[in-house]
Amino acid sequence: MPAALSYPMNMARYDWGFRTEPEPHLGGRVLATPRGKVIGGSSSINGMVYVRGHAKDYDHWEQAGATGWSYADVLPYFRRMEHWHGRTGDPSWRGHDGPLHITRGPCDNPLAQAFLKAGQEAGYPVTEDPNGLQQEGFGPMEATIWAGRRWSAAFAYLRPALRRPNCDLVKGIARRIIIEDGRAKGVEIDSYNGLQKVMARREVIVASSSINSPKLLMLSGVGPGEHLREMGVPVVADRPGVGRNLQDHLEIYVQRAATKPVSLFRYWNLWGKALVGARWLFTGQGLGASNQFEAGAFIRSRAGVDYPDIQFHFLPIAVRYDGRAVAQGHGFQAHVGPMRSPSRGSVTLRSPDPAASPRILFNYMSREEDWRDFRACIRLTRDIFGQEAFRDFAGPEILPGEGVQSDAALDEAIREHVESAYHPCGTCRMGAVDDPMSVVDPECRVIGVEGLRVADSSIFPRVTNGNLNAPSIMTGEKASDHILGRVLPREEREPWIDPDWRAAQRPVPRVTTQAAE
């Protein structure tokens, strides 16, 4: 049930349960890092939000050494994987017969409608399709939901493939890649039947997430040589970039109380949840069939930023990802955070034991730009919530709190309340073969080992705008063609960029006078 998204990502049965090391710039806080321990990976436990990323994200990838991964190169793969059910926007930018169903919620809650209207009142553009021509602006959010159910990568790809005679599913925990004479020969797994070796006739493809993929490579002897020797792992290929370049999106929940009982809090009780669940169970419809992230926005933080660097998820209830609602009752919130933090962290081995969780240190908020951009996020959100559209709904601010105004006070609130948006990536970075920090080449082949590829979010040179499920699936689509030795023709299309981006933070002068910086 899509509305029950907080449950699987907090259940040991489905989640690896990773946690960061104490983050030094967040007062030593330890943050959750959910990753899917289930068929379909994190697409089976995530929030189901579908965002391609901005075209310029992929042009940056190519500039960083990922030749052949510009927007013109990846757009055909986004279109190939999509079965789009959108109602507005230019359909020529989207795919219509792919395996991944993409839908939009009704967005009929009065608070969600107020959010979209407030964006216009504040001078921001409207976008009919943030995954098409124009990402920047306020508009609908899309989700991997179909027929009222989560549409994971397992439903879209694996289940149909299992009907083929040449596709088998073996369940187990991967311990290491078997590498002999510089070539990957198979994988050693710990299964219900004990240790097994699954051998490969041609190649081994790792798609274990930005946390487990570098861990598996290091356990197999591919990684920073000094670190591997410290762990007692024989070095097969000294690749210092393995586990480095770890990135994520942080976000803070800007919450306000609602003065009218129009939020989803009315269902936040045993009887309300039973009604929502029963309707979903018997009809596949209603509130249970949505992740409730039905309205959102991408904006720029200041003049001189050429494409959006802030994302909003709007939610018509004041609640946390772990499912805890705030005590104040009716409310609403925007999840807001910067898209391109310069901070970088790492994933390293805790021990050579494959059962041990790796050390994860994102090094969040380690750069001054992070603090500047987060303060802008909060102030710009307050500006939006202060528009006329929210006049009939907006009560006191719950978080960070109306008394939190100065830079120092905002910094303290950020340090205490920011949470991961669960978008880790970058730990097996794709780049040029002669770049010592590259882990895979532009065909996803691990540098220094024959017959081994990585195809997941770990290969991203830099985090993309928005949620990472769509770019991760696109990576799998494109990697599959590289494995087969083919490539789709490029599609040269120019996305919308605000022509006045150098001089203005938004296209229309702001209505209010509250400062954004």
What are the tokens at 14? Answer: 């489905």
What's the CA gap between 419 and 397, in Å, rounded? 19
Is 48 annotated among the ligand-binding residues?
Answer: yes
What are the tokens at 297? Answer: 């926005």
DSSP string, 114-153: HHHHHHHHTT--B-S-TTTT--SEEEE-EESEETTEE--H
What's the CA gap between 14 and 39, in Å, rounded? 9
What's the CA gap between 251 and 246, in Å, rounded? 17
CA angle 70, 340, 79 (to 5 degrees): 35
CA angle 217, 215, 192 (to 5 degrees): 95
Catalytic residue among 249, 313, 423, 482: 423
Greatest Cα-to-Cα distance within the chain, rounded to the nearest angstrom: 70
What's the CA gap between 516 and 99, in Å, rounded? 42
What's the CA gap between 68 and 498, in Å, rounded? 26
* DSSP one-letter code for 494: P
Contact criterion met (CB below 8 Å) for 72 and 492 = yes
What's the CA gap between 60 and 429, in Å, rounded? 13
Is 46 annotated among the ligand-binding residues?
Answer: yes
Is 141 annotated among the ligand-binding residues?
Answer: no
Contacts of 1 (CB under 8 A, 6+ apart): 149, 150, 277, 280, 288, 289
Based on the residue annotation, tell me whether 423 is a catalytic residue of this protein.
yes
Contact criterion met (CB below 8 Å) for 264 and 273 = no
CA-to-CA separations, 198 to 163, 201, 454, 476, in angstroms, rounded: 20, 10, 17, 21
DSSP string, 426-466: -TT-B--TT-TT--B-TTSBBTTSBTEEE-SGGG-SSPPSS
Contacts of 109 (CB under 8 A, 6+ apart): 262, 263, 264, 294, 316
Contacts of 65 (CB under 8 A, 6+ apart): 430, 431, 432, 435, 438, 442, 461
What are the tokens at 301? Answer: 């933080």
In DSSP terms, 50 is beta-bridged to 142
Enzyme catalytic residues: 423
In the annotated binding site for FAD, the residues are 38, 46-49
In the annotated binding site, the residues are 38, 46-49
